Structure 1
């Protein structure tokens, strides 16, 4: 015959068997930093062993949520986001907290649902990084959830773009694009194609406008600047570059390094020499940018710095919202002709 399931032993049962309070039993079995008299600790441990008590791991995790900072990101698989997350984790560990991450794939409903669920878990802070909103453009429902979370004692940090309602640290994407555009114009490129990524990505739109300003300021005619939207991936860059008319462009400016690396692959497959026939540039300066052949000219963004500063903002004393903007640095390598 089937055996009856063993009754779940609770912390109250252990406390009663040991003759101590539930709080004392919890301190012994929950790993509390508060000390318990040795004789009480021995009684609690003996009672727990005799009753075969098992701590509720989910309840312990709920208690630890208050020691965590949660990152909500569009896509955790990109190299740039990997650098940011690694820096956040290092900074958080040094500060005595830990980082959990959640990916929403930039879907507004998933962002909203993630914030709602995480509010219930009560982490110490939420760090949002999304390329689909800019200053003042958070969906009103998401904004309401974030404000309610802060009213309940949490902290919100927006990383990557500026936002007036919360602490934020932003990249100057327009300035990064302008650096590249000015360099390409200065080196004599007169027919330029911009691989702009998805049209709705705010950070990419800033880089595109910077490209155009730098090119126009360097004398490139507007009619010789072509903007092509594509997926924000290596395959997106490969497909877009493969479709470019032969001989109609002498420089390709990609809004990130991953797209640029895809374009390099397409040109290599088509027998187009880089940079002799066409120059290629990116933005971000991921590690692969220095390892591909030819090495990629790009704008180095301080990705790790943004990750570390996000944690600092999340842990600082509450006060007036702090807004930081970080600049990129042009790194000239082999993929652009001198």
Structure 2
């Protein structure tokens, strides 16, 4: 009578029994040249022996060490993403690795398909950056693909707010918005417009909520805060500014844009409409992209540590931590020429 087949023991089972990450277990059992702490190595070997784990020789042959780190991003053309990618590339180069990039435009299915394809290329790590890590996406195909990649010995790092249990780097977008809202209220503005993006974009929604909280805390009545949806790019800011100017500004004294690209578009839109910044209306942004200090007037903004996020993502990807890591990065207010106190506007 044939014996019942022994249940297949996976690398994930060994990692769980040893209390380490799948990537750490893979380095120990897969013959990686990357060092693992002796304590972790002993735990992995003991767990593998207890579970009678055997390495699939054909799979191991396919898992030759790769020096690539794959970045999966929404849109690679945005100025802020350009800063992040440049920092990732610099940090990876110092570690002897290189970065490949793919754009998904934030579509969950496209994200999942991109990860599926990248799994076959065996990159050393995956860095996924997006503003759209929604619950529906997290519970679907994208999460399954990322978990499968991790079980194969890879490491996943998320840049953006997420409920997924991978290492992550997040910006305090709500805090950035709140600090800007508080500043605009502090310099005397009481009728304000917010050039906001889609509510489906987590980071832009958080910035908008922060704007409102900061304005309200500074004494601005919620009835005097007007939210104008727009595309989150220069053209979106230009169109929103022309719309507001066409309505006679609706008494608005200040515009808070969800990022610098929108704010810079708004500067052009107001200029074309004959509305002077900051004499007629103050304009602010968030991110502090390089162009923010070159436009006229120079843009008041909240600087986010974009380059640090890119560098830290690579360090997380190449690190040996057994448990998922999380890093929250805060911004700081930079006051330039595009925002002026109400008293000065009256002169």
Partner of 1:39: none
| Count of matched residue pairs | 277
Shift of 1:160: 2.7
- How far is 1:87 from its partner? 0.2
Q: Using the alignment, how far apart are the partners of 1:265 and 1:125 within structure 2?
A: 41
> What TM-score do you get using the length of structure 1 for normalisation?
0.79
Q: CA deviation at 1:65?
A: 7.2
Task: Say which of 267, 282, 285 aligns to 1:282.
Answer: 285
Kept in 2, the 8 Å contact 1:257–1:286? The answer is yes
Q: Superposition pairs for residues 3-22 of structure 1, below 5 Å?
A: none
1:197 deviates by: 1.5
User: Matches of 1:319 and 1:130 in 2, distance apart?
Assistant: 24
| Residues 1-338 of structure 1: pairs in structure 2 closer than 5 A | 66-133=66-133, 138-244=138-244, 245-248=247-250, 249-338=252-341
| Distance of 2:287 and 2:326 partners within structure 1 | 21
TM-score by length of 2: 0.77
Structure 2 spans left out of the alignment, 5+ residues: 1-61, 342-347
Per the TM alignment, residue 136 of structure 1 is displaced from its structure 2 partner at its CA by 8.6
Distance 1:257 1:131 in 2: 16
**Which residue of the partner structure matches residue 9 of structure 2?**
none
Partner Cα separation in structure 1 for residue 285 and residue 64 of structure 2: 41
**Partners in 1 of 2:65 and 2:243 — Cα distance?**
49
Taking the aligned partners of 1:302 and 1:231, their CA distance within structure 2 comes to 23
SS at match of 2:157: strand
Partner Cα separation in structure 1 for residue 260 and residue 212 of structure 2: 18
CA distance in 1, matches of 2:182, 2:118: 44
Distance 1:63 1:145, change over 3 A: closer
Shift of 1:64: 7.8
Stretches of 4+ moved more than 3 A in 1? 62-65, 134-137
User: In structure 2, how many angstroms separate the alpha carbons of the residues matched to 1:215 and 1:177?
Assistant: 10
**Matched position secondary structure for 1:253:** strand
Supply the distance in 2 between the matched residues of 1:136 and 1:307 (Cα, whole angstroms).
Answer: 26
SS at match of 2:231: coil
User: Aligned equivalents of 1:170 and 1:231: distance in 2?
Assistant: 22
Contact 2:138–2:164 under 8 Å retained in 1: no
Larger Rg: 1 or 2? 1
> In the TM superposition, what whole-angstrom CA distance separates every residue of 1:235-275 from its partner, at most 9, and x where no partner exists?
11100111112132111000000000010001000111111
Contact preservation (8 Å) 2:109, 2:141: no
Structure 1 stretch displaced more, 100-109 or 177-186: 100-109
Q: Structure 1: state its 5+ residue gaps.
A: 1-61
Which has the larger displacement, 158-167 or 82-91?
158-167
**Contact 2:133-2:162 within 8 A present in 1 as well:** no
Matches of 1:100 and 1:238, distance apart in 2: 33
Say whether the 8 Å CA contact 1:189–1:251 is kept in structure 2: yes
